[in-house]
Amino acid sequence: MRRILVLGASGFLGNYLWKHYSANAWEAVGTSYATSNERFLKFDIADRASFEDLLRAVTPEVVINASGYINGIAEQAAGINNSVEGQSAAVIDLARACVRNKVRLFLTMGSSAEYGDINHNSITESTEYGELTPYGLMKRVTTESLASLDSDMTQIIVLRPFLVFGFGQKFPRLTPLILQNMDNTKFLMSLSLSDRKDFVAVGDFVRIVSRLVDKKIYDFEKRFDILNVCSGKGVTIGDWINKIRVAYGRQEIESFAVRPLTSFVGSNVNLMHHIGPFKFACHENSIRTLTSANFGNH
């Protein structure tokens, strides 16, 4: 049985990935910073020394890093640990440990925020960066450091998800924010209705990662790669609000169907090279999976 280690398995993306592999003939080991129970091991990614022990105990072929900001140990250490360099260093150390322990594939979550404040309708992995937020800068520094890591048999892939949405997603993400304020027209009007974004259903995200792992675990076409996880199709925030309203039995707000003025839409050409052909789920069908009173509370 193949073995996979999912760091951050109690988070939104990590939990979906852990559940997928647990149900599909993998021995899936998950970790969580916040809890230790029968499902997940308690682990803080800032604890570099114990990660070596964890790798030796689990001996995974694949490690997926879906953890968030550093907490715990790093918060108690010197100030640099909460800086961009400190946040990045923790992920780099994870990757180095995977290389030393001959893990076949280390897949870590970057972010579309690495592109910064730009207006593009087809953002490629080499698109020139715009002004970055602190979060985007941290992710970008991490990616650039990983690119220079020397590895003989460990493949390193950075995924840059665009706006992944799905059941269980929490605030302050855009889709749960809209859902919470679905009938608050005044608040919805304060959003940037004319911004075109690239939305990806979490089910598609999981299928994409699964295909990537299946292909890249033994395929050494590249030792390092950056891949946008995006549909390549843009939807304005105004139209997205209306799609959510229709899924919940509300009427569309006609004035929200505005002409797009800006675009932040990814190119998935590089991704399709690895996993294609791939059919993305219909947004309307994916949005219907959100129609639960418990949405946002998991």
- Does 289 fall in a domain? no
Is the torsion defined by CA of 104, 32, 199, 137 positive or negative?
negative
- Give pLDDT tens digits for 40-49: 999 888 787 8
- Does 244 fall in a domain? no
- Does 134 fall in a domain? yes
For the record, the structure tokens of 116 come out as: 């910064």
Q: What is the pTM of this model?
A: 0.92
3 state DSSP class of 22: helix
- Does 183 fall in a domain? no
- Does 154 fall in a domain? yes
> Among 32-36, 121-125, 126-130, 243-247, which is the least confidently predicted range?
32-36
- Does 262 fall in a domain? no
- Does 237 fall in a domain? no
- Give pLDDT tens digits for 193-207: 999 999 999 999 999
Residue 170 CB partners (closer than 8 Å, separation 6+) = 12, 176, 296, 297, 298
**Which tops the pLDDT comparison, 74 or 25?**
25
Domain count of the fold of the chain? 1
- Alpha helices by DSSP H, listed for the chain, are 12-22, 48-58, 73-76, 84-100, 134-147, 174-180, 185-189, 202-216, 237-247, 269-275, 283-288
- Give pLDDT tens digits for 54-71: 999 999 999 999 997 655
Check residue 37 and give its pLDDT: 72
Check residue 297 and give its pLDDT: 37
- Give pLDDT tens digits for 216-243: 998 877 899 999 999 999 999 999 999 9
Distance CA 276, CA 274 (A): 6
Domain extent for 73: 2-115+122-165+200-232+267-280
Check residue 48 and give its pLDDT: 78
CATH number at residue 66: 3.40.50.720
- Does 6 fall in a domain? yes
Band (pLDDT 50/70/90 cuts) for residue 294 is very low
Check residue 70 and give its pLDDT: 56
Check residue 204 and give its pLDDT: 97
